[in-house]
């Protein structure tokens, strides 16, 4: 059959992620509002949807685990069990576990089976307060629609069927004819007789009621269960007898028939679950030996689990046989994990994006306009005369407007509200405050601020680190805060807002602030600075971004192992952003991340050196100037410097770096651009500033290779390639040259 649900898997994973977020967020809110039934219903529905859909794809581990969660949630929403922090905690942990299970289904990442097992037991125990409800749901899960399967043809049998449907049959949209037809499909139907004795007098008759009953004889190769299944939707309400009269051909008596014959039960024996797709049909993978043994009753599940636990891994066996050293095995395992991680990240890269159809409609309209403008232009081109130049300019302006609008619209497709990146923090802060014994409230604002999906995805980890830092290092314990006349509850604020073509995200706490002296002392002991070196505040704060730098007296499990802040900075810079610190002792610290709205396009300043054109990211330009001769100095050990308002900055002559033939070699004749990178400045000498424009970044690494001092390339208006300067790289070149001169 051409129907195949597998193609909907990606959609499922996307939906599941959304449901997980709803469940998690809902559970966190539930702690504050345990009586909120709407909230509970919402959580329940999300869990329910995950369960339903995961079963469709054969993700049984997910379905089973979600079922356990759902059972507890159902008890909570029916008020049979109270919403306690213990229950909420258990459900939150289970949500995490469910996440790993779904990831496992998605990309085959390993699952911590111990945790799954433990949480399953805990969930069952929590739900066990009302045993009846539990067993009811269990029963529900096990009796399911039987799928009559065309197995080997049975010998023909003969059934006599008497059926008196309920009077309201029609009101449920049921048609007795359908049932009789379906019976006919099973075999040969004969002696069909209708019993109209229940028909009332015509004056009392309700045409919407069913007063008829039927009796018939069915010869079929199917067994009784299949025949009963025909009456599935009406059986419980009908007076129905299905009796096997005589067997044609070989007499065969199954257990069901015996039960049926003795009238012990009309319930069909629960058929196995309709097989989900992945394990459906003949081309399914064979089951593991253990499963088959359990199913056939040779061994019990416990015995099998015990045996599996004794099973050794390949690595262990090889070590025992001295075929490989533990280190070699460890290395190989490490490699395997890396490969797994790599394949996993590859998989997440192909993620889809859900776009509002309205956005696409607008885009199509715009493309239509673009086509019109284009045809107007080509029309003009075929019969152009110089006196029509104003028409041409007008059309060009229209083209530019179209292009810009399309660009904006296309970008907006990739734009998502940053709230999706913020949503993980309520949970994080809750866990952190519990673990660190601090009272912390989290205030989020600007969640609706939109930015590029890739930026949102990459910003999560750095933000998490900053929030952890604030919770662990920034905020004090309640006792200390009370002593300092501060409110007992510390506050962490996350805010996002647009500023120019950038987005700013601030992470702010009202904690103790950075300790200038402590950072200085640590920097000296780590040899980062000389003992009596004079540093500005900003330079001191930027010390915490140096690799391996931590002033925490003790290492906690939250943060303080000295890894992280340097990674945070690097991540932000990889995104083309900057990070800055503002702090006041005793008052708090604020980290400000400034990020481009998108990674694909930057605002650039075009500059000329000789006959080459370069692009400088506008974000990094502080100012441009033409120096007076007396402000340019050559200092031994520092190279060439320029004095800008009493600060000396190194000069990088761009024509030297790229070996070009310049127009000017004298800094006082050319132009110096003061560029900022990571809080440090460098003066870059060029011949001329040409203008400002948006440029589309093309990767150098993908098309050529990494070139020092160059961040990427772009196509300029005249069709030539222009290089985009890498300010950080230029600064490093300047530092290196200075040390060479020394």
Binders of other proteins among residues 357 to 396 (CB under 8 A) are none
φ and ψ at residue 27, rounded to 5 degrees: -65, -40
Residue 303 as a binder of other proteins (CB under 8 A): the answer is no
Sign of the torsion formed by the C-alpha atoms of 57, 58, 63 and 65 = negative
> Least CB distance from residue 318 to other proteins, whole Å?
41
> Least CB distance from residue 262 to other proteins, whole Å?
24
Exactly one of 214, 233, 648, 658 binds other proteins (CB under 8 A); which one?
233
Residue 77 as a binder of other proteins (CB under 8 A): the answer is no
Report the run of H or E that residue 681 belongs to, with start and end.
Answer: strand 680-686
Cα–Cα distance, 202 to 702 (Å, whole number) = 85
Would you say 181 or 561 has its CB closer to other proteins? 181
Q: Which of 221, 214, 217 is nearest to 245 (CA)?
A: 217
> Least CB distance from residue 17 to other proteins, whole Å?
12
Considering only the stretches 176-184, 547-555, 576-584, 587-595, report the one whose residues sit in contact with other proteins under the rule CB under 8 A: 176-184
Considering only the stretches 46-54, 446-454, 611-619, 636-644, report the one whose residues sit in contact with other proteins under the rule CB under 8 A: 46-54
Exactly one of 171, 328, 338, 739 binds other proteins (CB under 8 A); which one?
171
Would you say 43 or 319 has its CB closer to other proteins? 43
Cα–Cα distance, 323 to 316 (Å, whole number) = 10
Considering only the stretches 175-183, 303-311, 338-346, 580-588, report the one whose residues sit in contact with other proteins under the rule CB under 8 A: 175-183
Specify the pairing of strand 440-445 against strand 490-499: parallel
> Least CB distance from residue 55 to other proteins, whole Å?
3
User: Which are the contacts of 662, defined by CB distance < 8 A and separation ≥ 6?
Assistant: 609, 610, 653, 655, 670, 687
> Least CB distance from residue 269 to other proteins, whole Å?
15
Cβ-contact 276, 58 below 8 angstroms? yes
Residue 45 as a binder of other proteins (CB under 8 A): the answer is yes
Residue 266 as a binder of other proteins (CB under 8 A): the answer is no
Would you say 42 or 486 has its CB closer to other proteins? 42
> Least CB distance from residue 53 to other proteins, whole Å?
5
Exactly one of 17, 21, 28, 56 binds other proteins (CB under 8 A); which one?
56
Q: Which positions from 621 to 640 touch other proteins by CB under 8 A, shown as an x/- string?
A: --------------------
Report the run of H or E that residue 741 belongs to, with start and end.
Answer: helix 727-741
> Least CB distance from residue 577 to other proteins, whole Å?
34
Q: Which of 569, 662, 668, 578 is nearest to 621 (CA)?
A: 578
Cα–Cα distance, 179 to 183 (Å, whole number) = 6
Cα–Cα distance, 313 to 702 (Å, whole number) = 40
Would you say 177 or 309 has its CB closer to other proteins? 177
Residue 207 as a binder of other proteins (CB under 8 A): the answer is no
SS3 363: helix
Would you say 44 or 545 has its CB closer to other proteins? 44
> Least CB distance from residue 238 to other proteins, whole Å?
12
Residue 614 as a binder of other proteins (CB under 8 A): the answer is no
Cα separation of the two ends of the chain? 77
Q: Which of 219, 216, 217 is nearest to 153 (CA)?
A: 219
Beta bridge partners of 160: 217, 243
Exactly one of 33, 52, 78, 488 binds other proteins (CB under 8 A); which one?
52
> Least CB distance from residue 270 to other proteins, whole Å?
10
Considering only the stretches 5-13, 387-395, 466-474, 499-507, report the one whose residues sit in contact with other proteins under the rule CB under 8 A: 5-13
Q: Which positions from 237 to 256 touch other proteins by CB under 8 A, shown as an x/- string?
A: x-------------------
Cα–Cα distance, 13 to 18 (Å, whole number) = 9
Beta bridge partners of 411: none
Burial tier of 212 (Cβ tally within 10 Å: 0-12, 13-18, 19+): middle
Cβ-contact 417, 453 below 8 angstroms? no
Cα–Cα distance, 687 to 669 (Å, whole number) = 8
Residue 187 as a binder of other proteins (CB under 8 A): the answer is no
Cα–Cα distance, 576 to 454 (Å, whole number) = 12
Cα–Cα distance, 445 to 448 (Å, whole number) = 8
> Least CB distance from residue 315 to other proteins, whole Å?
37
Instruction: Describe the strand order of the beta sheet including 157-164 as a list of residue ranges.
Output: 187-195, 213-220, 157-164, 239-247
Exactly one of 253, 267, 280, 291 binds other proteins (CB under 8 A); which one?
280
Q: Which of 110, 186, 146, 166 is nearest to 339 (CA)?
A: 110
Beta bridge partners of 686: 671
Residue 167 as a binder of other proteins (CB under 8 A): the answer is no
Beta bridge partners of 244: 159
CA 157 from centre of chain: 56
Would you say 119 or 230 has its CB closer to other proteins? 230
Q: DSSP for 171-217?
A: GGT--HHHHHHHHHHHEEEEEEEEE-TT---TTT--TTS---EEEEE
Residue 403 as a binder of other proteins (CB under 8 A): the answer is no
Considering only the stretches 118-126, 230-238, 333-341, 553-561, report the one whose residues sit in contact with other proteins under the rule CB under 8 A: 230-238
Residue 174 as a binder of other proteins (CB under 8 A): the answer is yes
Q: DSSP for 690-723?
A: EEEEEEE-B-HHHHS---TTEEEEEE-TTS-EEE
Residue 140 as a binder of other proteins (CB under 8 A): the answer is yes
> Least CB distance from residue 67 to other proteins, whole Å?
8
- What's the full length of the chain, in residues? 742
Considering only the stretches 3-11, 118-126, 370-378, 421-429, report the one whose residues sit in contact with other proteins under the rule CB under 8 A: 3-11
Would you say 120 or 526 has its CB closer to other proteins? 120
Cβ-contact 73, 44 below 8 angstroms? yes
Residue 274 as a binder of other proteins (CB under 8 A): the answer is yes
Would you say 153 or 281 has its CB closer to other proteins? 281
Cβ-contact 614, 713 below 8 angstroms? no
Residue 131 as a binder of other proteins (CB under 8 A): the answer is no
> Least CB distance from residue 182 to other proteins, whole Å?
6
Cα–Cα distance, 300 to 289 (Å, whole number) = 13
SS3 351: coil
Residue 284 as a binder of other proteins (CB under 8 A): the answer is no
> Least CB distance from residue 233 to other proteins, whole Å?
4
Binders of other proteins among residues 572 to 601 (CB under 8 A) are none
Exactly one of 117, 136, 266, 346 binds other proteins (CB under 8 A); which one?
136
Residue 21 as a binder of other proteins (CB under 8 A): the answer is no
Exactly one of 131, 132, 153, 173 binds other proteins (CB under 8 A); which one?
173
Residue 331 as a binder of other proteins (CB under 8 A): the answer is no
Beta bridge partners of 614: 607, 723
> Least CB distance from residue 357 to other proteins, whole Å?
13
Exactly one of 85, 178, 190, 265 binds other proteins (CB under 8 A); which one?
178
Cβ-contact 674, 623 below 8 angstroms? yes
Report the run of H or E that residue 178 belongs to, with start and end.
Answer: helix 176-186
> Least CB distance from residue 3 to other proteins, whole Å?
3
Exactly one of 42, 438, 465, 594 binds other proteins (CB under 8 A); which one?
42
Q: What are the helix and strand counts (H, E) for the chain?
A: 25, 22
Would you say 184 or 679 has its CB closer to other proteins? 184
Q: DSSP for 619-661?
A: GGEEEEE---GGGEEEETTTEEEEEETTEEEEEEEHHHHTT--
Contact residues: other proteins, CB under 8 A: 1-5, 8, 11-12, 15, 41-42, 44-45, 48-49, 51-53, 55-58, 63, 136-137, 139-141, 143-145, 147, 170-175, 177-178, 182, 208, 230, 232-233, 237, 273-277, 280
């Amino acid at each position: 059959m051409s129907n195949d649900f597998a193609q909907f898997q990606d959609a499922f994973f996307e939906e599941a992620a959304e449901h997980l977020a709803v469940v998690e967020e809902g559970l966190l809110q539930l702690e504050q509002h345990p009586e909120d039934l709407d909230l509970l219903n919402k959580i329940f529905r999300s869990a329910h949807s995950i369960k339903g859909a995961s079963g469709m794809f054969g993700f049984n581990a997910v379905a089973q685990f979600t079922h356990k969660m759902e059972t507890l949630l159902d008890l909570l929403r029916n008020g049979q069990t109270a919403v306690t922090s213990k229950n909420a905690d258990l459900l939150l942990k289970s949500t995490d576990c469910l996440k790993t299970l779904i990831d496992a289904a998605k990309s085959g990442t390993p699952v911590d089976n111990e945790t799954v097992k433990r949480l399953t037991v805990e969930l069952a125990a929590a739900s066990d307060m009302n045993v009846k409800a539990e067993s009811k749901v269990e029963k529900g899960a096990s009796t399911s629609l039987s799928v009559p399967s065309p197995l080997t043809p049975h010998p023909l049998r003969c059934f006599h069927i008497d059926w008196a449907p309920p009077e309201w049959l029609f009101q449920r949209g049921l048609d007795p004819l359908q049932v009789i037809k379906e019976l006919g499909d099973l075999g040969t139907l004969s002696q069909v007789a209708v019993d109209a004795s229940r028909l009332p007098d015509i004056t009392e008759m309700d045409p919407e009621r069913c007063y008829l009953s039927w009796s018939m004889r069915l010869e079929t190769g199917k067994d009784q269960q299949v025949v009963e299944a025909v009456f599935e939707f009406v059986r419980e309400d009908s007076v129905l007898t299905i009796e096997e009269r005589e067997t044609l051909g070989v007499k065969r008596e199954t257990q069901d028939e015996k039960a049926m014959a003795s009238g012990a039960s009309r319930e069909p024996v629960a058929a196995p679950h309709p097989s989900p797709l992945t394990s459906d049909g003949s081309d399914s993978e064979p089951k593991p030996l253990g499963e088959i043994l359990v199913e056939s009753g040779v061994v019990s599940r416990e015995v099998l689990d015990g045996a599996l636990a004794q099973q050794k891994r390949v690595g262990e066996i090889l070590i025992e046989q001295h075929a490989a050293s533990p280190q070699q095995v460890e290395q190989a395992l490490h490699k395997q994990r890396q490969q797994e991680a790599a394949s996993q990240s590859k998989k997440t890269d192909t993620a889809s994006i859900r776009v509002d159809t309205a956005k696409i409609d607008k885009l199509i309209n715009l493309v239509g306009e673009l086509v019109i403008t284009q045809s107007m232009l080509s029309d003009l081109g075929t019969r152009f005369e110089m006196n029509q130049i104003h028409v041409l300019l007008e059309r060009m302006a229209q083209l530019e407007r179209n292009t810009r609008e399309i660009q904006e619209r296309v970008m907006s497709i990739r734009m998502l509200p940053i709230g999706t990146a913020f949503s993980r923090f309520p949970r994080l802060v809750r866990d952190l405050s519990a673990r660190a014994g601090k009272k912390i409230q989290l205030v989020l604002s600007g969640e609706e601020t939109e930015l590029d999906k890739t930026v949102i995805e990459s910003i999560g980890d750095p933000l998490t680190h900053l929030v952890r830092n604030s919770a662990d290092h920034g905020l004090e314990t309640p006792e200390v805060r009370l002593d300092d006349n501060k409110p007992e509850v510390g506050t962490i604020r996350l805010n996002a807002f647009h500023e120019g073509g950038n987005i700013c995200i601030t992470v702010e706490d009202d904690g103790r602030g950075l300790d200038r002296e402590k950072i200085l002392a640590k920097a000296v002991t780590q040899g980062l600075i000389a003992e009596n070196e004079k540093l500005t505040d900003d330079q001191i704060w930027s010390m915490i971004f140096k690799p391996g730098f931590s002033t925490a007296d003790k290492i906690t499990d939250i943060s303080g192992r000295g890894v992280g802040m340097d990674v945070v900075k690097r991540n932000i810079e990889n995104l083309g952003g900057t990070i800055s610190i503002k702090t006041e002792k005793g008052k708090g610290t604020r980290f400000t991340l400034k990020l481009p709205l998108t990674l694909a396009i930057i605002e650039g300043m075009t500059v000329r050196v000789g006959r080459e054109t370069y692009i400088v990211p506008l974000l990094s330009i502080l100012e441009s100037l033409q120096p007076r001769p007396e402000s340019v100095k050559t200092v031994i050990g520092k190279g060439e410097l320029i004095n800008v308002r009493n600060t000396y900055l190194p000069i990088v002559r761009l024509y030297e770096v790229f070996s070009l033939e310049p127009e000017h070699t004298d800094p006082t004749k050319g132009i110096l651009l003061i560029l900022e990178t990571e809080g440090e400045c460098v003066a870059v000498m060029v011949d001329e500033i040409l203008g400002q424009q948006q440029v589309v970044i093309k990767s150098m690494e993908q098309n050529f290779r990494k070139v020092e001092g160059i961040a990427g390339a772009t196509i300029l208006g005249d069709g030539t390639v222009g290089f985009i300067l890498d300010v950080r790289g230029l600064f490093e070149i300047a530092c290196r040259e200075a040390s060479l001169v020394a």
